[in-house]
Chain A
Amino acid sequence: MMSDTFEPKIVAFVCNWCTYTGADLAGTSRMQYPANVRIIKLPCTGRISPLFIMKALEQGADGVLVSGCHPGDCHYTAGNYHARRKYTIFREMLHFLGVEPERLFFSWVSAAEGRKWADLVAEVTDTVRRLGPRRSAWGEPVEGIAAPRLSANPVPFEAPAGTFAAQAEAMREKAKALLAGGEVGTVIGYEQGTLPGTARPAFVSTPEEVDRLVWNEHCHQNLAVYAARKPAKPGKVALVVKPCDERSLVGLLQENRLAREDVVLIGMACHGVQSEGALAPRCAACQTRTPALADPVIGEATPPTATADPRLEQIARIEQMAPAERWNFWQGHFSRCLKCYACRAACSLCTCERCLAEKAQPRWIPAPPDGAGNLSWHAVRAWHLAGRCVDCGACSAACPADIPLYLLNLKLAQVVKDAFDYEAGRDPAAAPPLTTYREDDAQEFIR
């Protein structure tokens, strides 16, 4: 196509101590290599945030190269080990969103490897030149390719008769006892919503008010979102939690947002919950139906109905799409995003006092709810939840535009599980995967 005339723009983020010095050596040794690469020097790959890669793509780079010191050589001991973990996840994410993986390059180039640098740049330039220009701007659909649609196959919901009512009674008794005994000042549970077949969070602070609390298949919200907020009434807070909600608490404990003794957990053994009249997608194959952390666990859980998670099939179908189709699949969904930030607001692990989306200097995420702004928002939020998302379904349920955010989060959870054998929200004592590293972490994607 355009490969004869097309001169790709390639952005290279390199560390100061190894690769930049290596590039310098290539220059002073008068080695020839293509001039398509614009080098941006940073102190360490540990400082080369994946957001830089995203920004380069947003600004129209045809390819991105990241390079730093070989494992064991980091000037700051372990910056490159941490970076390697980040890139492992981030490049899988971009790939899942439809960015061709062939446009992203990672390498270790030492100060002595001027030749390696020159050859690498030649190879990178050649590869990207052969690929041609990116097929669309950041956040714009590829023209001439329809956005594929995935139909969700809701699993029919079967609720065991009577179980909810007995549990509800026991939950209310516990709540009353906690409030009457002064052990907590507020119980956050569920009450009936104003629309048919809905429940909503309820804050009660006297034993009399407890009669409002309900427990049924509509109690799908994750009340852990209120855990780290200061309650209006003095005293501790007790939360009514499902096992998946409880996993948020594990995350909050790991991240020191909360201490275990700050909150009382009324754990509800789970039968699955409904969203839009059917079993919530995450519940079909959920294996953790009994709370592990809660103070009392109320009731007996119902075993899962399905053995396979139906969402994994959706992910597999996305992965079968060609990159441009995948890209359009996501742009089709993201184009509806209003940037209402309900996903963030409903997320118990989006605890930042000031979200990156609200920062203007530098502006990583274009503010308007349009193509570029929406894609960057979704990439950043998924990235920030990688290794942290506990799959409670709150963001997807909150989204007024019905964007299947869970597919992106779940995909990254799979990547984290495969690469680092880690599952979020399981063990309060475990080190979150992006706060640690192993010297022998896999690195086949790094040259």
Chain B
Amino acid sequence: MAKALRTEALLDFLRAVQQDARRLVAPVEEDGLRLFRAVDRVEEITLAEGNTRWSFKEVLFPRSEALFHYRLSGGSVALQEPDQPEGETVVFGARPCDAAGLAVLDAVFAPNGRPDPDQAPEHEDPFYRRRRAQTTIIGLACLEPGPACFCTAVGLSPTGTAGSDLLLTPLPDQGVFLAEAVTEKGERLLAAHAHLFTDTDDTKEQATRAAEGRIQRTALSGVGGPLATLFEAPPWEELAARCLGCGACAFVCPTCHCFDIVDEGNAAGGSRCKFWDSCGFALFTAHTSGHNPRATQPARFRQRVLHKFRYLPERFGVQGCVGCGRCIATCPVNMDIQEVVAKVTG
């Protein structure tokens, strides 16, 4: 049977969760934009509908992190362990699209199902794996999807549970959040704070129908299918003529996961850093020789579309775009991935 959390008890629940974990990450308002931040006081958290400017992926895949530090002296190099990860973390307020996007990060960085830090093959990303194991996701369903949202067009739902450990769906008429434990971690959260939750017969069906009904964008049919033959065919040049070649779309995206590695330091030492990169940049594929296999911006934009809608489904069986609409909303020139895919497959 589903559980209910009274609307007024949400902050009590989060406060209790915060006491158990080392870190609570949740949406807050800062300089007029909404971002996920580690919060000191749960009162800072905003419950406003709609998405943060970028996803919470940086909790698991930071925009920049040191893989190790090094000291140079004489002819010798001394390596030092990287900084300690942040420890037990709870993310609250993950929207169902963002939570579903974890499937892509997992597929790439921790491909063996739910990652176990002690038993993972060499090629897994130990940094991601460790953070993933120490992170619990409390999802928050959407009642009012925005104009850029299209999760339903890629087979997801504004009240979907994928990726969340615990999903809260607001039922304002009943004055409660419906709480669904999705994983063992979610079950444990419910059990640990059982006194705040009551049994309920309420369901989220009506909320789901209403929220899904608000999404205006057309379904992307046969995602993965038709795109398989469209590498040269559709007029990418025309579709992407205005693309400026920045990385905004990739950096706000919950599923983009490309990174670069450089050594940052001086003659005394430094750090080997891993940090976000984007296929939208010309430098991303530039060879040392000067040759660039993706020579034009339309070719780079095509990569963005095909990576999400064809290569990821083909290679990992995951869907590369979860329809959060962020890239559409943040793009300085309104490159609209949903519009483009609908056009080329339609």
Q: Which residues of A are interface residues toward B (Cβ below 8 A)?
A: 59, 149, 152, 193-196, 198, 200-203, 221, 225-226, 232, 332-333, 336, 338-342, 344-346, 358, 360, 363, 366-370, 373, 394, 397-398, 400-402
A367 and B275 in contact (CB under 8 A), knowing A201-B242, A400-B252?
A: yes
Contact A369 B31 (CB under 8 A): no
A402 and B242 in contact (CB under 8 A), knowing A195-B328, A221-B332?
A: no
Name the residue of chain B whose CB is nearest to the CB of A220.
Answer: B332
The answer to the question of B278 belonging to the interface, with a C-beta cut-off of 8 Å to chain A, is: yes
Contact B242 A367 (CB under 8 A): no
> Bound complex: CA of A202 vs CA of B333, how far in Å?
9
The answer to the question of B276 belonging to the interface, with a C-beta cut-off of 8 Å to chain A, is: yes
Contact B275 A200 (CB under 8 A): no
Instruction: Pull 8 A–B residue pairs with CB atoms less than 8 Å apart, ordered by A.
Output: A200-B242, A232-B241, A339-B247, A340-B250, A340-B278, A345-B332, A368-B63, A369-B275
Distance between B328 CB and nearest chain A CB, rounded to angstroms: 7
A344 and B332 in contact (CB under 8 A), knowing A149-B31, A338-B251?
A: no
Distance between B93 CB and nearest chain A CB, rounded to angstroms: 18
Distance between A146 CB and nearest chain B CB, rounded to angstroms: 13
Given contacts A194-B328, A339-B63, A346-B332, 11 further A-B pairs with CB under 8 A are A59-B266, A152-B32, A201-B333, A221-B332, A221-B333, A338-B248, A339-B247, A341-B247, A342-B246, A367-B275, A400-B330
* Chain B residues within 8 Å of A398, by CB: 244, 246, 248, 332
Contact A342 B244 (CB under 8 A): yes
B323-346 Cβ-contact flags toward A at 8 Å (1 or 0): 000001110111010110000000
Contact B283 A358 (CB under 8 A): yes
Name the residue of chain B whose CB is nearest to the CB of A355.
Answer: B283
* Chain A residues within 8 Å of B266, by CB: 59
> Bound complex: CA of A333 vs CA of B33, how far in Å?
11
Distance between A427 CB and nearest chain B CB, rounded to angstroms: 28
Distance between B154 CB and nearest chain A CB, rounded to angstroms: 16
The answer to the question of B64 belonging to the interface, with a C-beta cut-off of 8 Å to chain A, is: yes
Classify chain B's interface size.
35 or more
A400 and B251 in contact (CB under 8 A), knowing A195-B148, A232-B238?
A: yes
* Chain A residues within 8 Å of B251, by CB: 338-340, 400
> Bound complex: CA of A366 vs CA of B275, how far in Å?
11
The answer to the question of B103 belonging to the interface, with a C-beta cut-off of 8 Å to chain A, is: no
Name the residue of chain B whose CB is nearest to the CB of A226.
Answer: B242
* Chain A residues within 8 Å of B278, by CB: 340
Contact B246 A346 (CB under 8 A): yes
* Chain A residues within 8 Å of B275, by CB: 339, 367-370
The answer to the question of B35 belonging to the interface, with a C-beta cut-off of 8 Å to chain A, is: yes
> Bound complex: CA of A195 vs CA of B326, how far in Å?
12
Distance between A337 CB and nearest chain B CB, rounded to angstroms: 9
The answer to the question of B117 belonging to the interface, with a C-beta cut-off of 8 Å to chain A, is: no
The answer to the question of B281 belonging to the interface, with a C-beta cut-off of 8 Å to chain A, is: yes
A401 and B262 in contact (CB under 8 A), knowing A193-B334, A232-B238, A339-B247?
A: no
* Chain B residues within 8 Å of A346, by CB: 244, 246, 332
* Chain A residues within 8 Å of B328, by CB: 194-195
* Chain A residues within 8 Å of B64, by CB: 368-370, 373
Interface residues of B in 269-322 (CB under 8 A from A): 273, 275-276, 278, 281, 283
A402 and B273 in contact (CB under 8 A), knowing A340-B247, A373-B64?
A: no
Partner of B339, one of A194, A336, A358: A194
> Bound complex: CA of A200 vs CA of B332, how far in Å?
8
Contact A340 B147 (CB under 8 A): no
A345 and B33 in contact (CB under 8 A), knowing A194-B339, A367-B264, A400-B53?
A: no
The answer to the question of B187 belonging to the interface, with a C-beta cut-off of 8 Å to chain A, is: no
Partner of B333, one of A152, A200, A341, A401: A200
